[in-house]
């Protein structure tokens, strides 16, 4: 991963640090010399998610809390140079079941972080969006001018969160940038996503795997590339006031991705379409393909992991017994 002296000794906050991308981002920032404060969601088990297994845990200032609390947000953003806001509810199927919780965490949580950054004079707020806000592509590759389409309660909440963050740039001239990563995969990803679902079940010896629709196409990005892209956007003054895609500009179908995983893992597993895993008809996003020309124009970012290399690293992590045992491969996660 590309590194920069920019982060040396800078105090940063990462919200959602216990999650998949957030934990990797904390490690990438530490490697770049930053002082990392990490917000993990409070729970009575005092569990810090994926940070628990991080080799860098002792170097991270961990705070348990919730972005839905504005008082906490004001406290944790004090003396921060940059805030990377990743905390969000992200599972699309669960957003059909509990949409209000997505508004509370994703929209109100972003409001709380933005207001706290404004009051504490944070020098850069890096808000994390998602390619899901674009919905099914009206044209490809998808650039930042593509219309936003709320095809699920999740994507609607993220559109609202993006607008809330950008309103603080427009109304208060706060230095806000929006990172819009396309589909990220890699070690530690939740089993609700298709790539870890397939890898973990094959690793556990499954001969048949139930899936939703495998015809949609995606622009898959290895997690370390996503982190590098976020850091590059945060470093560049030209990205202030903009939403910037992070992607590989490579399109592949879910089916072809699964076949590649089968080949790498030397598996003869059979894929079966399961009706309960299909999204509602008008909610499925059938095509996501990133135009990454803007991030290349404004920063020095370039993805380093092509799909086969990224999948090999992901598979190697998942097949390690201590990692695989953390996944309940027999349960369908929404």
pLDDT reading at 321 higher than 80: yes
Q: Is 263 contained in some domain?
A: no
Report the predicted TM-score, pTM, of the whole model to 2 decimal places. 0.95
| Residue 235 to residues 77, 238, 301, 334, Cα–Cα distance (Å) | 18, 9, 11, 35
Q: What is the mean pLDDT of residues 15-26?
A: 98
Rounded to the nearest 10 degrees, the angle between the axes of helix 254-264 and helix 307-318 is 60
Site of tokens 């230095």: 175
User: Of the given ranges (2-6, 71-75, 140-144, 323-327), which has the lowest mean pLDDT?
Assistant: 2-6
E strand or H helix at 247 = none
pLDDT reading at 57 higher than 60: yes
The CA-based angle 297-217-277, given to 5 degrees, is 135
Site of tokens 């991270």: 60
**Residue 66: which region, alpha, beta or left (left: phi > 0; alpha: psi -120 to 50)?**
beta
DSSP class per residue in 154-195: HHHHHHHHHHHHHHHHHHH---EEEEEE--EE-TT--TTSHH
Identify which of 298, 295, 165 has the alpha carbon closest to the alpha carbon of residue 237.
298
Q: Is 4 contained in some domain?
A: no
Q: What is the mean pLDDT of residues 295-323?
A: 97
pLDDT one-digit tens code per residue, 226-281 = 999 999 999 999 999 999 999 999 999 999 999 999 999 999 999 887 766 566 76
Q: Is 324 contained in some domain?
A: no
User: Of the given ranges (170-179, 191-200, 310-319), which has the lowest mean pLDDT?
Assistant: 191-200
User: Of the given ranges (229-233, 281-285, 317-321), which has the lowest mean pLDDT?
Assistant: 281-285
User: Of the given ranges (78-87, 167-176, 188-197, 294-303), which has the lowest mean pLDDT?
Assistant: 188-197
CATH, residue 139 = 3.40.50.720
pLDDT at position 63 is 98
Q: Is 277 contained in some domain?
A: no
pLDDT at position 212 is 81
Q: Is 139 contained in some domain?
A: yes
Calpha distance 180→127 (Å, rounded) = 9
Q: Is 267 contained in some domain?
A: no
* Percent helix, percent strand, percent coil in the chain, to nearest 5: 45, 15, 40
**Structural domains counted in the chain:** 1
Site of tokens 């569990």: 47
Q: Is 187 contained in some domain?
A: no
Q: Coil, strand, or helix at residue 115?
A: helix
DSSP class per residue in 267-327: ---EEEE-GGGSPPTTT---B--B--HHHHHHSS------HHHHHHHHHHHHTSHHHHTTS
pLDDT at position 191 is 84
- Domain that includes residue 139, residue range: 9-182+222-247+291-304
Calpha distance 285→215 (Å, rounded) = 10
Highest mean pLDDT among 2-16, 92-106, 273-287: 92-106
Beta strand 35-41 with 61-65 is parallel
Calpha distance 313→198 (Å, rounded) = 15
Contact 288, 183 (CB under 8 A): yes
Q: Is 163 contained in some domain?
A: yes
């Amino acid at each position: 991963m590309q590194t920069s002296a920019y982060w040396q000794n800078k105090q940063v906050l990462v919200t959602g640090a216990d999650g998949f991308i957030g934990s990797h981002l904390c490690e990438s920032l530490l490697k770049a010399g930053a002082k990392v404060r990490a917000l993990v969601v409070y729970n009575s088990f005092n569990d810090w998610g994926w940070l628990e297994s991080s080799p860098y845990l002792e170097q991270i200032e961990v705070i348990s809390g919730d972005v839905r609390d504005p008082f906490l947000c004001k406290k944790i953003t004090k003396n921060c140079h940059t805030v990377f806001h990743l905390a969000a509810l992200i599972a699309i199927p669960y957003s059909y079941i509990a949409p209000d919780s997505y508004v509370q965490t994703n929209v109100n949580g972003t409001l709380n972080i933005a207001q706290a950054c404004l009051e504490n004079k944070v020098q850069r707020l890096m808000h994390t969006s998602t390619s899901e806000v674009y919905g099914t592509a009206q044209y490809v590759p998808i650039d930042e001018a593509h219309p936003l389409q709320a095809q699920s309660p999740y994507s609607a909440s993220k559109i609202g969160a993006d607008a809330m963050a950008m309103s603080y740039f427009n109304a208060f001239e706060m230095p806000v940038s929006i990172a819009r990563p396309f589909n990220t995969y890699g070690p530690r990803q939740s089993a609700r996503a298709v790539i870890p679902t397939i890898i973990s079940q094959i690793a556990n010896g499954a001969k048949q795997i139930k899936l939703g629709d495998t015809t949609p196409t995606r622009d898959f990005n290895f997690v370390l590339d996503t982190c590098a892209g976020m850091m590059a956007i945060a470093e560049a003054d030209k990205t202030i006031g903009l939403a910037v895609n992070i992607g590989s500009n490579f399109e592949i179908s879910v089916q072809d991705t699964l076949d590649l995983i089968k080949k790498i893992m030397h598996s003869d597993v059979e894929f079966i379409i399961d009706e309960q895993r299909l999204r509602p008809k008008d909610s499925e996003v059938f095509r996501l393909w990133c135009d990454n020309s803007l991030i290349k124009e404004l920063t020095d970012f370039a993805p380093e992991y092509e799909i086969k290399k990224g999948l090999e690293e992901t598979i190697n992590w998942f097949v390690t017994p201590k990692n695989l045992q953390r996944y309940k491969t027999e349960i369908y996660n929404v």
